[in-house]
Amino acid sequence: MVPLVLVAMLTLMPVKLEGLLAEYLTETYHWEDVQVRLVSVEGEVPSQNPEDIKVLKGPLGRAVFVLSYGDGTEVKVTSIVRAKVRVLVASKPIRKGQVLRPSMVAERLMDIQRVSSDMVTDLESIKAMRARYHIRAGTLLRMGMFEKEPEFKKGQKVTVLYQRGALRVTSAGVLREDAREGMVVEVMNLATKKVIKGLFRKGGIVDVTP
């Protein structure tokens, strides 16, 4: 017959390890609502807390950890891990071209295994960006829905640059569309009234060099 004290230890041990692993995962990965369950242990667990925890597999789903203790003991622990992270959703309709403000978004907890890399998890990553198209209220926000504000807007005057070898010719032009550095944009040369395409550069320069 198994002593009652040993039964109590076996019953309490997984609960202690569940809390320990949940705390470790929360602090290490900054997850929320971490759930650790179905803990199984290979070996005897010392009474003190481990000095180090390593992830052998996971850490989500069926995870395997190695707990290292000060006396040299190592214990392998297997468990099922689930966690959530905060994602952003539109709290109200966002119009095409509208610059995002904090009042337009709300947070929602989502199972991390359902979160894709393009989902917006913090407002800072899309700060001062504008919507590329109309976004309905309640929509999960993704990075591809937003773009940076243009450095120059349609109708603004720019410098049209043509250069070949030592030859460098500049003239005034007007943008036919919003522009950011690195974009290929249409510009009307005010001298010739022709619409041409060129590479928009910093400082309002459109390079039309072939």
CATH says 1-148 is which class? alpha beta
Average pLDDT for the chain: 88
pLDDT band of 9, cuts 50, 70, 90: very low
Write down the CATH number for the domain with range 157-207: 2.30.30.760
pLDDT-derived band of residue 11, with 50, 70 and 90 as boundaries? very low
Strand partners, 115: none
Task: State the pLDDT at residue 176.
Answer: 94
Distances (CA, A) of 50 to 47, 76, 203: 9, 12, 57
The model's confidence at residue 8, banded by pLDDT at 50, 70 and 90, is very low
How far apart CA 161 and CA 201 sit, in angstroms, is 10
Whether the model clears a pTM of 0.75, i.e. scores above it, the answer is: no
For 70, other C-beta atoms within 10 Å of its C-beta total 11
By the 10 Å C-beta count (0-12 exposed, 13-18 middle, 19+ buried), 26 is classed as middle
Q: List, by residue range, all CATH 2.30.30.760 domains of the chain.
A: 157-207
Nearest in space to 159 (alpha carbons), one of 204, 208, 209, 210: 204
Asked whether the beta carbons of 164 and 155 are under 8 A apart, the reply is: no
Contact present, 174 and 191 (Cβ < 8 Å): no
Residues 158-176: tens digit of each pLDDT: 999 998 888 889 999 999 9
Every domain range in the chain assigned CATH 3.90.1210.10: 1-148
Alpha helices in the chain (DSSP H): 4-29
Location of structure tokens 């202690």: 16
